[in-house]
Chain A
Amino acid sequence: MSVTTRHIQAYLLLLPAFVFLVGFTHYPAVATLIDSFMSTPRAGRAAVYVGIENYQVMVEDPIFWKSLFNNLWFALATIPISIALSVAMALWVNEKIVGRQFLRMSYFLPTVLPMIAVANIWIFFYTPGYGLINQFLQLFGLPGQNWLGNPSLALGAVTVVAIWKEAGFFMIFYLAALQTMSPSYKEAAMIEGASRWYFFRRVQWPLLMPTTIFVLVNALINAFRLVDHIIVMTKGGPDNASSLLLFYLYEVGFKFWDQGLASALTVVLLFILALVGLLQFFLLDRRTHYR
């Protein structure tokens, strides 16, 4: 077989995947970029080139900035907390304890449930008066809160739901990584008299780094992608206090039907994700030991 035929064969084998990748990923991204420089087509008025006008509108839009900063806070809270929780849970259910399978399952359960169902359950947890959380507070004589109806609490309340949903999912990856770890490390550490914390910090955590990178990338994407519960629980309210970037994008695109502005917002979202993704790969990869 000549080199050319081999190449042709290789490309033919790649073709189906390539078609889907272009059709569903690359073409929409490029089309969105183009649309972001066009006006929104209305009945009888086709889209025309408007330069950076959509971006100017976006920069002057206070709700855009509000949603962006909300999203940064949301990411800053969900990512470290859900990773810390998932590592702790994984370490615990990795031990030989009674009811281990049951614990693993119950930690993983939130991941299996659809986000819409989860959000509908959490609405009742947060309900003022008889909601689970407020009933718990009342046991200690603390006053109940209107979790979703108070602008200073709403973002925190929806963040907790996201953490609850995500931690179990990440736990599975950490658990898998811990189980492939040779028990000889632990034995060696015990012989040397290392404390549990020292063993975790110097042996387990560094060995988990590849998993952490993977989880981090996923957590970051999810922080900009998880908005189902916002739609169910707060619709971005009160007064945009819990609006996230993707939620606002959906509103602009499919409620206001402003294709131009929605495209500009999408480009910003893509840009943020690409930037952080690249930073992660280049900076953290160097400090990670792959086996």
Chain B
Amino acid sequence: MKKWLTAVSMAAAGLCTSATALAQTEVPFYFPIAVGGPITKIIDQYASDFNKDNPSYKVVPVYAGTYQETIVKALTAHKSGKPPAAGILLSTDTFTLADEDAIVPIDNFVKTDDDRAWLKSFFPAFMLNGQFAGKTWGVPFQRSTVVMYWNKDLFKEAGLDPNKPPQNWKELVSMGQKLTKKDANGNVTQWGVQVPSSGFPYWLFQGFSTQNGAILANAEGNEVKYDDPKVIEALQFWVDLSRKYGIHPPGIVEWGTTPRDFMERKAAIIWTTTGNLTNIRSNAKFDFGVAMLPEGVRRGSPTGGGNFFIFKKASSAEQEGAFKFAKWLTQPARAAKWSIDTGYVAVSPASYETPELKKYAAEFPPALVARDQLPFAVAELSTHDNQRVTKALNDGLQAALTGKKTPEQAMKDAQAEANRLLRPYKR
């Protein structure tokens, strides 16, 4: 009965709003889905809640596929002159979007003190990928980092303290050796550690390179340091995990099956996104822990995920609406809810102070690990002509991991290719 009443009142409200539709600005909003769960439903709910609070705008959410499909749709629409007002796209595509002249800086809309405070409210690590040339081009919305999951049962079986994950590279190797098991024929049945390397190996590699004290690209996005000795050393360590120590599967490890390998007890320690937390929590039939990545000369992990962008060719009324929506979406309570529902890291310290997220973290402490790692987090690799410059690194990493090239040769080749690609932007 109560449901029926709400349905009727919502329909009535719908009629009323359509009567006032003339004064309304439609704000088309593209979003991708990159994790499990009823994301479309959540986003639709956000839009209708926002529209109720702001009757002069009508946010129209459009599910646009994966991140890749979303940017294809958004940029194609931009080139045809009719882009959406806003969209969630990879934070690493900031340079690409700005170079295509597709987006406007968020600063253009920041006018009041309240706006300025809002722009300062985010975790600094999440702002890195959205800022260059003194401007903020995108604000964080669905962000993640790489964390380490470990199987406490297997730690116990191997005679290790189940509550102490490896803290540094040395422990990663020594514990990994204890956790690697072989059958009578010498085939490995359980790997000590597994770091996926299919599709986008650069992201996981940034864990190793950052821990070794290297930064892969400059903030202007026109220079990379793939052949920095520290980078080569980091790659050598990743290669050695399988080649020298025999504790990591050889060749390329599939990203998509890595959580499954963990749940099947084929890998005792894995590195993957915080976004897999909810998935692993509901499917692992053993006690597991989540920890920061181990320390090399320092701790480190890249950030990842999507930012909120506002498109240039949208009308100024649409852009204003999009800005209001961005601000509304990232309010602490809402960011907390989004984090609980999806596993993404909440975007501001304030949202970790909300009762909702405090309660959730008390019940499930691993949810806080990603936040605690943020002070050590660096920008995700992003440059002008981003996907191509990144592919040069991906190809080099895969060539080294499969033994086709030495780490040094692979990184020198990747550097040469990246230099060639970035030349037009170095002025």
Contacts and interface: CB of A to CB of B under 8 A. Distances in A.
Nearest to B72: A254
Q: Which of A141, A149, A235, A256 is the most central at the interface, judged by chain B CB atoms within 10 Å of its CB?
A: A149
B385 interface: yes
B264 interface: yes
A128 B194 CA distance: 12
Given A43-B101, A129-B266, A150 B387 contact: no
Contact of B387 (A129, A146, A240, A256): A256
A44 B312 CA distance: 14
Given A43-B99, A130-B264, A148-B198, A237 B252 contact: yes
B252 A238 contact: yes
Nearest to B187: A143
B395 A240 contact: yes
Contacts of B261: 127, 129-130
A149 B252 contact: yes
Interface residues of A, number: 31
Given A237-B198, A239-B404, A124 B100 contact: no
Contacts of A144: 187
Interface in B394-425: 394-396, 398-399, 401-402, 404
Contacts of A128: 249
Given A150-B402, A237-B398, A123 B257 contact: yes
A127 B398 contact: no
B158 interface: no
A239 B402 contact: yes
Contacts of A289: none
Q: Tell me the interface secondary structure of chain B in the complex.
A: loop
Interface string A198-242: 000000000000000000000000000000000000110111100
Contacts of A96: none
Contacts of A143: 185, 187
A237 B394 contact: yes
B213 interface: no
Interface residues on B, range: 35 or more
A278 to B, nearest CB: 33
Nearest to A129: B266
Contacts of B399: 238-239
B220 interface: no
Contacts of B264: 129-130
B254 A149 contact: yes
Contacts of B75: 257
B366 interface: no
Contacts of A141: 185
Interface of B: 68, 72, 75, 96, 99-102, 185, 187, 189, 197-199, 249-254, 256-257, 260-261, 264, 266, 385, 387-388, 391, 394-396, 398-399, 401-402, 404
25 contacts: A42-B100, A43-B99, A43-B101, A43-B102, A123-B256, A127-B257, A127-B260, A128-B249, A129-B189, A129-B264, A129-B266, A130-B261, A149-B197, A149-B251, A149-B254, A151-B404, A234-B198, A237-B398, A238-B251, A238-B252, A239-B404, A251-B387, A251-B391, A254-B68, A255-B68
Shortest 10 CB-CB contacts between residues of A and residues of B: A43-B101, A149-B252, A149-B251, A238-B398, A146-B251, A239-B398, A255-B387, A239-B399, A238-B252, A256-B388
